[in-house]
Structure 1
Amino acid sequence: MSALALKGPYWVTVRQYRRTLWAAGALALLALAVVGGLRIWDGQTPDRVLPDGSRWPADESRGYETLRIAMDYAGMGTILLPLFVGAFVAGPLIAREFESGTYRLSLTQSTAPAAWLRAKVLTATGAATGLTLALMGVFRIGWSRVAGTYQLNWADRGPYEATGVVLLAYVLAAVAVGTLVGLLVRRTLVAMAATGLVMGVVTLVLGNLRWSWLGVGTVTGPMNMRTGPLLVPGNGLMMDTGLLTAEGRRIEEWSCHDLGNSPAECLAAKNVTGQYVDYHPYSHYWPTQLIEGGILLALAALAAFAAFRVLRARLP
Structure 2
Amino acid sequence: MSALALRGPHWVTARQHRRALWLTVAAVAVSLAVIGGLRVWDMSKDAELPDRWGRGYDLLRAAMAQFSQGMLALPLLVGAFVAGPLIAREFESGTYKLSLTQSITPVTWLRTKLLTATAASLATTLALTAVYLIGWQRVSGTYGLHWAERGPYEATGTVLASYVLLAIAVGALVGQLVRRTLVAMAATGGVVGLVMLALGAVRWDFLPVRTITGRAHEGVYALQAPGSGLLVEQGLISTDGQRLPGYFCYDTDVPDGSCRPDEAIGVQYLDYHPFAHFWPTQLIESGILLALAALATYAAFRVLRARLPQRRPGRRA
TM-score higher than 0.5 here?
A: yes
Quote the residue 2:106 is aligned against: 113
Q: What residue number does 2:268 align with? A: 275
Tell me the percent identity: 59
Q: Quick one: distance in 2 between partners of 1:72 and 1:235?
A: 18
Assess if the C-alpha contact under 8 Å between 1:47 and 1:57 holds in 2. Answer: no
Alpha-carbon distance change, 270 to 111 in structure 1, aligned in 2, over 3 angstroms: same
Contact 1:46–1:57 under 8 Å retained in 2: no
**How far apart, CA to CA, are the structure 2 residues paired with 1:212 and 1:148?**
22
Quick one: which amino acid aligns to residue 186 of structure 1? R
Determine the structure 2 residue equivalent to 1:53: none
Partner SS for 1:253: coil
Counterpart residue type for residue 282 of structure 2: Q
Please point out which of 283, 306, 310 is paired with 2:299: 306
Give 1:269 shift.
2.3
Letter in 2 for 1:45: D
Q: Partner of 2:314 in structure 1? A: none
C-alpha separation in 2, matches of 1:13 and 1:314: 21
RMSD of aligned residue pairs (Cα, Å): 1.8
Residues matched between the structures, number = 306
In structure 1, distance between residues paired with 2:35 and 2:97: 44
Cα deviation code 1:39-78 (max 9, x no counterpart): 12212112555xxxxxx223xx011011111111111111
Q: 1:15 to 1:241 in 2, by over 3 A?
A: same
Which residue of 2 is the match for residue 52 of structure 1? none
Contact 2:222–2:247 (CA under 8 A) maintained in structure 1: no
Following superposition of structure 1 onto structure 2, how do residues 16-35 of structure 1 map, counting pairs within 5 Å? 16-35=16-35
Counterparts of 1:4 and 1:147, CA distance in 2: 38
Give ranges in structure 1 of 5+ residues lacking alignment.
Answer: 50-55
After superposition, the C-alpha distances for 1:188-228 in whole angstroms (9 at most, x for unaligned) are: 00000000000010000000010001000000010122121
Matched, 1:203 2:201: no
Query: Does the aligned pair in 1 maintain the 2:218–2:249 contact within 8 Å?
Result: no
2:163 paired residue among 152, 163, 170: 170
Where do 1:67-86 residues align within 5 Å? Answer: 67-86=60-79
CA 262–6 in structure 1, closer or farther in 2 if over 3 Å, else same: closer
**1:294-314 CA distance string (max 9 Å, x none):** 000001101111101100000
Question: Partner residue of 2:225?
Answer: 232
Residue type of the alignment partner of 1:57: R
Change (3 A) 1:262 1:12: closer
Instruction: For residue 260 of structure 1, report the CA deviation from its aligned partner.
Output: 4.6
User: What is the alpha-carbon distance in structure 1 between the residues aligned to residue 304 and residue 234 of structure 2?
Assistant: 52
CA shift digits 1:153-201 (9 cap, x unpaired): 1111111000011100000110010000001100000000000000010
- Aligned partners of 1:83 and 1:200 also within 8 Å: yes
> Structure 1 CA distance, aligned partners of 2:128 and 2:281?
22
Which consecutive segments of 4 or more residues in structure 1 shift more than 6 A?
Answer: 255-258
Letter in 1 for 2:52: P
Alignment of 1:52-201 (within 5 A): 56-58=51-53, 61-201=54-194
**Alpha-carbon offset, residue 6 of structure 1:** 1.9
In 2 relative to 1, CA 223–62 (structure 1 residues): closer, same or farther, beyond 3 Å? same
Deviation at 1:257, TM superposition (A): 8.6
**For residue 46 of structure 1, what is the amino acid of its counterpart?**
A
Deviation of 1:122 (Å): 0.3
| TM-score, structure 2 normalization | 0.93
Gaps of 5+ in 2: 310-317
